[in-house]
């Protein structure tokens, strides 16, 4: 060990479509190339919407980051701030803005970079991650935290854990969803294939990101489809919203995203009244229509004709998958039957009953039924899990006290902290005691 070594820090902004979070990571300086070594010190949620919402006020995007940066400067000792690598990665919200108006996207990035540049950190840039990067870095995060990539053995060597299968990653954001796993068959479409060499082992992974199929954009596509199928132009009956729930929305707000095609003759200033009918069967039918599940002849696919080999191995489902299932109390390995009936029952509760039962959840409460059914549809019909493979999905927010998402994998990659070759025994390395503290029961190999 290195008594005088100061811990090292890194900052990563996760600029998502609905909000931004700043993650502060720390690791002991003498253990840079170990695994299971980086820990999350803090996650600071930026108040307000995602940076892509500041298209018409780019300076506001920069200003929004400052309270979290101020907090980070209180945590990281002043003498180490200048060597703290700092990144901002934006995902599907900014992919959509760039598609809609690349000038506005660039202005938002300029302001965000300017704001971070005012702090004494080693700022290494703001970028839009590709969908494949987002999926791959999430996969690295999961497998790094669960130590499936490398372990410190009893022989005091870092070695590839024998008999350990790597885990797949399922991510659901506001504007996209990602699936990444090691299929064990040749990947037939090179657009969905990524290759890593980590700690001396080769990994050939399948990954794909579906833009617009994150939960916020999917609910928008659903509302637009219900609007276009509605007999009355200003009224929308919503089978996924609870009975007794009503809201007004303008057509301008509904059709403000590249994910929803405006009808041929939109009248922008129209106000629409959306009324919940609480009908889970009709909700499920309406949600299925957002996807095209047919694969074409002799082709394996996920949905919308995208190639996907059959799912294989255990999976961690995080972000939106976890939050909605956690709210519905469905994260503790329930059977598919139980999950279906819980969601059905929830969808049939009327609005007054829901508000009484969950007073603190008022903002999103009307959406949990639709998102619950959306998640089931996406996992079963989209990604092709079934009643046999369902039990291999683990709904989780954290592993080893660290949030699961793309940021840790991104940081490990860009700071070159995961070596491509196997590690030799490093003098003074102690097997991490915390390995046993992972709140994770080692899965029996099915």
Domain extents for the chain?
A: 8-128, 131-404
Q: What is the mean pLDDT of residues 248-271?
A: 87
276 annotated to a ligand binding site: no
Q: Is the pLDDT of residue 333 over 70?
A: yes
Is 178 marked within a binding site?
Answer: yes
Q: What is the mean pLDDT of residues 251-270?
A: 85
**Do 8-128 and 131-404 agree at the fold level?**
yes
Round the average pLDDT of the chain to a whole number and report it: 90
Catalytic one of 32, 83, 133, 134: 134
For 446, the token pair is 């099915």
Q: What is the pLDDT of residues 385-419, one digit of tens each?
A: 999 999 999 999 999 999 999 999 999 998 888 88
Percent of the chain with pLDDT over 90: 78
Q: Are the CB atoms for 72 and 22 separated by under 8 Å?
A: yes
Q: Is 285 annotated as a binding residue?
A: no
CB 138 within 8 A of CB 178: yes
How remote is the C-alpha of 436 from its chain's centroid?
A: 26
Domain covering 131-404, topology: Nucleotidyltransferase; domain 5 (3.30.420)
pLDDT tens figures, 297-319: 768 999 999 999 999 999 999 99
**Per-residue model confidence as pLDDT tens digits over 16-50:** 999 999 999 999 877 666 666 899 999 999 999 99
State pTM to two decimals.
0.92
Q: Is 176 annotated as a binding residue?
A: yes
Q: Is the pLDDT of residue 422 over 80?
A: no
CATH number of 8-128: 3.30.420.40
Q: Is 134 a catalytic residue?
A: yes
Integer Cα distance of 91 and 192 in angstroms: 18
Q: Is 230 annotated as a binding residue?
A: no
């Amino acid at each position: 060990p290195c008594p005088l070594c100061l811990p090292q820090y890194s900052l990563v902004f996760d600029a998502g479509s609905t909000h931004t979070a700043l993650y502060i990571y720390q690791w002991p300086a003498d253990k840079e190339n170990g695994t299971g070594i980086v820990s999350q010190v803090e996650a600071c949620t930026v108040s307000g919407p995602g940076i892509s919402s500041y298209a018409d006020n780019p300076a506001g995007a920069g200003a929004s980051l400052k309270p979290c940066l101020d907090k980070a400067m209180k945590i990281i000792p002043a003498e180490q701030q200048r060597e703290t690598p700092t990144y901002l990665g934006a995902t599907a919200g900014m992919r959509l803005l760039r598609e809609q108006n690349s000038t506005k996207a660039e202005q938002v990035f300029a302001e965000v970079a300017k704001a971070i540049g005012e702090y004494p950190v080693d700022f290494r840039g703001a970028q839009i991650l590709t969908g494949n990067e987002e999926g791959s870095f999430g996969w690295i995060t999961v497998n790094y935290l669960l130590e499936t990539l490398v372990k410190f053995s009893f022989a005091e060597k870092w070695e590839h854990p024998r008999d350990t299968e790597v885990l797949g990653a399922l991510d659901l954001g506001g504007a996209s969803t990602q699936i990444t796993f090691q299929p064990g068959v040749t990947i037939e479409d090179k657009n969905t294939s990524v290759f890593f060499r980590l700690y001396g082992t080769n990994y050939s992974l399948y990954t794909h990101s579906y833009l617009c199929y994150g939960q916020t954009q999917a609910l928008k596509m659903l509302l637009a489809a219900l609007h276009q199928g509605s007999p009355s132009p200003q009224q929308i009956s919503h089978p996924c919203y609870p009975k007794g729930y009503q809201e007004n929305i303008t057509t301008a707000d509904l059709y403000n995203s590249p994910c929803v095609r405006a009808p041929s003759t939109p009248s922008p200033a129209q106000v629409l009244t959306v009324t919940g009918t609480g009908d889970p069967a009709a909700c499920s039918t309406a949600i299925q229509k957002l996807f095209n599940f047919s694969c074409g002849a002799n082709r394996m696919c996920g949905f919308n004709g995208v190639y996907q080999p059959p799912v294989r191995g255990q999976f961690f489902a995080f972000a939106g998958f976890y939050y909605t299932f956690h709210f519905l109390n469905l994260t503790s390995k329930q059977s598919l039957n139980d999950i279906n009936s819980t969601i059905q029952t929830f969808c049939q509760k009327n609005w007054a009953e829901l508000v009484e039962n969950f007073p603190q959840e008022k903002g999103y409460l009307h959406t949990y039924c639709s998102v619950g059914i959306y998640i089931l549809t996406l996992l079963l019909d989209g990604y092709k899990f079934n009643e046999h493979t369902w039990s291999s999905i683990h709904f989780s927010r954290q592993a080893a006290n660290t949030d699961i998402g793309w940021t840790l994998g991104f940081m490990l990659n860009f700071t070159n902290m995961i070596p491509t070759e196997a590690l030799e025994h490093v003098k003074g390395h102690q097997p991490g005691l915390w390995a046993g503290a992972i709140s994770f029961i080692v899965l029996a190999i099915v």
